[in-house]
Amino acid sequence: MAQERQAAIVGIHEYPLRVAPGVSAMNVKVDSIRAALDDAGLKWSDIDAIYDAQDGEAGGGLQLAAYLGLRPTVLDTTQVGGSSYEFQAAHAMRDIAAGKCNVAVLSYGSTSASNRVAIGTGGRGGPATWATNMETPYGATLIANYAMVKQRHMFEYGTTDEQFAGISVATRHHAMRNPEAVKAMTDLQFVGVNEITPQDVLDSRIVADPLHLLECCMISDGGGAVIIASAEVARNCKKPPVWLIGAGEATKYRENGGDITTSAGAQSGPIAFGEAGVSPDEIDIAMIYDSFTITVAVCLEDLGFCPKGEIGAYVEGGRLAFDSGEGPALNTDGGGLSSNHPGMRGIFLLLEGARQLRGESTSQVPDAKLAVAHGNGGLLGGTHTGGTVILAKD
């Protein structure tokens, strides 16, 4: 392959609990960083770059270095919602290639479940802006925003509820093989911790038409950490490196006359695949931000797995299951739908992508070589970001 291999994921950790009362977001971050360093065989003082999505309670990037007790030479506080970690991984690739740092740490901690944060169905706060003053009076919940994308997709392309449900079915299939996901669903008191059928999805209550409950991600506690290192450091780590070989970043927003069924991924995807020198049909593992079924549908199209509007036919027949023999395997950890979604899922896309390319997944695809992690942050039917990262086995 032609692509340069200058930076790799060398250490990973996913915080095991999804309900962790009495634990702070900072605790989750630090416990995860320590475990990820141990996974890599690196020590605390090796860290020379901190990437932080301002998720801890102590003031984000300004405070994290002090809390950790580190003096990094790179401090990146990119916060673009759920896609923050794909953006940060892209920045770590650049910073390492530029010689600014050798050991970068990305971390996430959240206590959304224990704090009863109504992410999808509550209101949005903050000061009045040119945009909020035009939207707040209408009570558009986050879920309603995504639902409007699904509504338009169904209208424009004839995509059916049954086809969308296939995405929920595939991720639940994977979740049932992941003990942490099973515990998550149990601790969060899911009705029916078991495999599901498309009919189960259709029979679940509608939260915002046309999105059913089983098309929506959970709200959990949780977090994790990723250590990204230079090639020189990576060669001496405990586990085989998982190379970052391409990345793309993009934004999209409501525009007069715009197409709501096309996301920022249509811009970030080609950049990432181009840089990596690979195409979607070579991808074994698709780690796609599954806040909702519609997010996966739109992003798979935009990344080029199938033409725009054809996701319904593409997913029919169950190709997204890890054991379908067709691929790509979707969200083999169980996804945000059935394993882990404390609010910003982007880090888990990198974690499971890396597990697959190391051969450590609970739904392992034999000889997986290439993965894509695509994060979508913000509102799919409004202002959002797309971050795409291509990962390669050593």
**Is residue 311 within the footprint of other proteins (CB under 8 A)?**
no
Least spacing, CB of residue 260 vs other proteins, in Å: 6
Judged by CB under 8 A, the residue of 100, 152, 183, 308 near other proteins is 152
**Closer CB to other proteins, 22 or 139, in the complex:** 139
Judged by CB under 8 A, the residue of 226, 250, 260, 330 near other proteins is 260
**Is residue 258 within the footprint of other proteins (CB under 8 A)?**
yes
Angle, vertex CA 55, rays to CA 50 and CA 56, nearest 5: 80
Total residues binding other proteins (CB under 8 A): 41
Distances (CA, A) of 85 to 91, 148, 337, 351: 10, 26, 19, 10
Judged by CB under 8 A, the residue of 2, 22, 99, 128 near other proteins is 128
What are 107's strand-pairing partners?
A: 52, 225
Alpha carbons 280 and 300: distance in angstroms, whole number: 9
Alpha carbons 257 and 219: distance in angstroms, whole number: 33
Alpha carbons 222 and 211: distance in angstroms, whole number: 25
**Is residue 359 within the footprint of other proteins (CB under 8 A)?**
no
**Is residue 191 within the footprint of other proteins (CB under 8 A)?**
no
Amino acid identity, position 231: A
For 257-311, the three-class secondary structure string (H helix, E strand, C coil) is CCCCCCCCHHHHHHHHHHHHCCCHHHCCEEEECCCEHHHHHHHHHHHCCCCCCCH
Q: How many CA atoms lie within 13 A of 357 on its CB side?
A: 32
Judged by CB under 8 A, the residue of 77, 114, 136, 160 near other proteins is 136
Alpha carbons 28 and 19: distance in angstroms, whole number: 12
Least spacing, CB of residue 156 vs other proteins, in Å: 8
Here's the x/- map for other proteins, 98-127, by CB under 8 A: it reads as: --------------------x--xxx---x
**Is residue 208 within the footprint of other proteins (CB under 8 A)?**
yes
DSSP category for residue 173: H
Supply the DSSP string of 82-121, one letter for each residue: BTHHHHHHHHHHHHHHTTS-SEEEEEEEEETTTTT--TTT
Judged by CB under 8 A, the residue of 47, 147, 167, 321 near other proteins is 147
**Closer CB to other proteins, 183 or 254, in the complex:** 254
Judged by CB under 8 A, the chain residues 158 through 177 that form the site for other proteins are none
Alpha carbons 230 and 234: distance in angstroms, whole number: 6
**Closer CB to other proteins, 189 or 366, in the complex:** 189
Least spacing, CB of residue 367 vs other proteins, in Å: 42
Judged by CB under 8 A, the residue of 46, 135, 162, 310 near other proteins is 135
Binding-site ranges for other proteins (CB under 8 A): 118, 121-123, 127-131, 133-141, 143-145, 147-149, 151-152, 155, 205-211, 254-258, 260, 381
